[in-house]
A and B are shown apart, each in its own frame.
Chain A
Amino acid sequence: MTRTQTAGSATAAAIDDARAQGRAALVVYLPVGYPDVDGSIAAARAAVESGADIVELGLPYSDPGLDGVVNQEAMQAALEGGTRTTDVLRAVREVASTGAPTLVMTYYNPVLRYGVDRFAADLAAAGGAGLITPDLIPDEAGEWLEAAEAHDLDKVFLVAPSSTTERLYLTVAASRGFVYAASTMGVTGARASVGPKAEALVAATRAAGAERVCVGLGVSTGDQAAEVAAYADGVIVGSAIVRTLIRPDRDRDAALEDLRRLVGELAEGVRSARPLTSGGPRR
């Protein structure tokens, strides 16, 4: 039980709202700047309208070590299109105005370069909820932990099937908003199945004190979302959503239609997982 997890967190509140409806939250990832900055904002807003509870906006990075091919290529295109860190902050402002808690998922170096405290201040001012940091573990996060505290932001750290019990405790204690459970050992990208390790990891993370655990990596369909929603507090979908935006014909309206359809299917998935009577996840 960690008291810091709830205080002031709109992300936590959104997950709790979903739980009150007897379902898991749907968390959607989109990289800013793909197909361009305005296009990514439109996509994120469409995702919220179609049932996403929480949005993760990716800050494109030149060396995204935890991302699979789809996200890599989208980020590279975003950078080639001239996307800047300040564009990400603008996107946060526009997406957060929908009311959906909006997190930034970013590798550490762009934040370090911008200035950790300055980034936190500007993110908070834009209405952002916090950061998800795939290559920053709490052990190395001193500066970010301070800045998050000072600006009342969520700190979403990752746990993995390889995390030891000791590290689960450490990561849970440092996190606010939710804990991001990486379903498999691997990079982002759609997979045929989410894998058996995710459920055990969620249980172990809860045992280490986490109140909210969302599962990401490999979820791409409504059925998979339903499967994960049966044991997790939130289902995170990234590459599969990004893929709807990749169209050789560059027809943006058609892309947004596909995105809405997929998010709608995923939103149904998280609702079909368990009957309302079963209440929230057991801990």
Chain B
Amino acid sequence: MSEQTPRSAAETALRDAVGPYFGDFGGRFVPEALIAALDDLSTAWDKLSVDPRFVERLAALHRDYTGRPSPITEVPRFAEHAGGVRVFLKREDLNHTGSHKINNVLGQALLTEQVGKTRVIAETGAGQHGVATATAAALFGLECTIYMGEEDTRRQALNVARMRLLGAEVVSVTTGSRTLKDAINEAFRDWVANVETTNYVFGTAAGPHPFPALVRDLQKIIGEEAREQLTTRIGRLPDAVVACVGGGSNAIGIFNAFLDDPDVRLVGCEAAGDGVETGRHAATISAGTPGVLHGAKTYLLQDEDGQTIESHSISAGLDYPGVGPEHSWLASIGRAEYRPVTDAEAMEAFRLLTRTEGIMPAIESAHALAGAITLGRELVAGGADPAQTVLLVSLSGRGDKDVETAAEWFGLVDSDAPTGEHEDGSTSA
């Protein structure tokens, strides 16, 4: 691997793709009623994203509120399990609110001000995006409604309480499969009815244009920081960048800065649940087909009639039957590769990182760690010198929210003690 590869000419740079289409993917498959609002958002974002006052305000929020730049951490004890290669984590888990989601919502909250709206809505699966949106709403004094599938409100009761403490209204969605995809449907229904006052703060780099590009623009700081930090630290780029992919916002955020460095492999880890072969998974690109879901043409899990198939993953944040259109495009042109990681592989990686480094990852991020373990071993088996092989992994969030799930998985719950009772908020540090 050479020193920094020169980037290709600006007009052909992959990292500057703007939408609405990414190759054959993307677009705006939404009711006409929403087109004006999407146009307004596009126009406002085109203007705002190059406005020096906005850039400065957002930078100040990143620095003083979120705590950016997030560090990179080398994890040698963990890396022993990955063939002994060098592994660096990009620590989005250390951000305020505990994940990369805050990067997106702060930018979109400023955008909401810009378009003159006073209310924000959002969908959430695990609750991380909901908490982040409720946080930004509190900070900016915006009214806030969060849609969450009834199933997920049960799985993530603590995050529901967190959002309510922050002043958000949490609506439990009881239609369809009562999970993230239905929360998105319900948020769109709210948006159609209230678009004059309300901005939809979409949580991932999916959905209709401009959301995939907008969310990517707000998340690309992850890769830009990491690229610079790594170059400063070791004087070169990584051999591969690994991230988990649900909708794919942390992945596109860390990939973006490396898209035009062809020697850097980009590896997205999809949730394979019980295993792709069982049909109980969320591995959209690995096992899905192109279609239209939630406003964009992209890979999705669908049956032969085009009905969405429910996804399955231990990680609520990856439990989504679609994926951002830019990932579908990167897969189709071979610029990024997408691999399935099962619940069991992810939980083993969760355990390993926690035990070897004292860092408890979100189960979402543990999918990326599992991918890194496999990739590191593959590279070494293929003859790579471990000491000269560098993996950069997006640690997109922290595992606090997953303690109960993990304790259950590893059989650490005392069967006499009523589970979950300690999670009444009294123990939060």
B37 to chain A, nearest CB (A): 7
- Using Cβ atoms and an 8 Å threshold, which residues of chain B touch A66? 31, 33, 189, 192
Task: Decide if the interface of chain B is mainly helix, strand, loop or mixed.
Answer: mixed
- Using Cβ atoms and an 8 Å threshold, which residues of chain B touch A73? 175
Chain A binder among B45-53, B145-153, B160-168, B299-307: B299-307
B: contact size bracket = 20 to 34
- Using Cβ atoms and an 8 Å threshold, which residues of chain A touch B429? none
Please report the C-alpha to C-alpha distance between residue A180 and residue B188 in the assembled complex, in whole angstroms: 20
A58 to chain B, nearest CB (A): 14
Please report the C-alpha to C-alpha distance between residue A111 and residue B305 in the assembled complex, in whole angstroms: 8
Chain A binder among B265-273, B286-294, B362-370: B286-294
A159 to chain B, nearest CB (A): 6
12 contacting pairs across A/B (C-beta < 8 A): A62-B176, A63-B181, A66-B31, A73-B175, A85-B305, A109-B292, A111-B306, A113-B291, A135-B31, A160-B33, A162-B36, A187-B189
Q: Does A112 contact B (CB under 8 A)?
A: yes
**B195 and A112 contact, CB distance less than 8 A:** no
**B193 and A187 contact, CB distance less than 8 A:** yes
**A158 and B176 contact, CB distance less than 8 A:** no
Interface residues of B (CB under 8 A from A): 27-37, 175-176, 181-182, 185, 188-189, 192-196, 291-295, 302, 304-308
B322 to chain A, nearest CB (A): 10
* Beta-carbon nearest neighbor of B194 in chain A: A185
**A140 and B29 contact, CB distance less than 8 A:** yes
Q: Does A157 contact B (CB under 8 A)?
A: yes
Please report the C-alpha to C-alpha distance between residue A214 and residue B306 in the assembled complex, in whole angstroms: 29
Please report the C-alpha to C-alpha distance between residue A66 and residue B185 in the assembled complex, in whole angstroms: 8
Please report the C-alpha to C-alpha distance between residue A162 and residue B175 in the assembled complex, in whole angstroms: 27
Q: List CB contacts (< 8 Å) of A8-37 with chain B.
A: none
Please report the C-alpha to C-alpha distance between residue A92 and residue B305 in the assembled complex, in whole angstroms: 17
A98 to chain B, nearest CB (A): 26
A216 to chain B, nearest CB (A): 12
- Using Cβ atoms and an 8 Å threshold, which residues of chain B touch A159? 32
Known: A114-B306, A167-B36, A185-B196. 16 other contacts (CB 8 A): A61-B307, A62-B307, A63-B176, A63-B294, A65-B30, A65-B189, A66-B31, A72-B175, A110-B306, A112-B291, A113-B304, A135-B30, A135-B292, A140-B27, A163-B33, A185-B192
**A167 and B175 contact, CB distance less than 8 A:** no
Please report the C-alpha to C-alpha distance between residue A157 and residue B181 in the assembled complex, in whole angstroms: 25
- Using Cβ atoms and an 8 Å threshold, which residues of chain A touch B32? 137, 157-160, 162-163, 167, 171, 182
- Using Cβ atoms and an 8 Å threshold, which residues of chain A touch B35? 137, 162-163, 167
Please report the C-alpha to C-alpha distance between residue A242 and residue B351 in the assembled complex, in whole angstroms: 52
Q: List CB contacts (< 8 Å) of A108-141 with chain B.
A: 108-114, 134-137, 139-140
Q: Does A79 contact B (CB under 8 A)?
A: yes
- Using Cβ atoms and an 8 Å threshold, which residues of chain B touch A157? 32
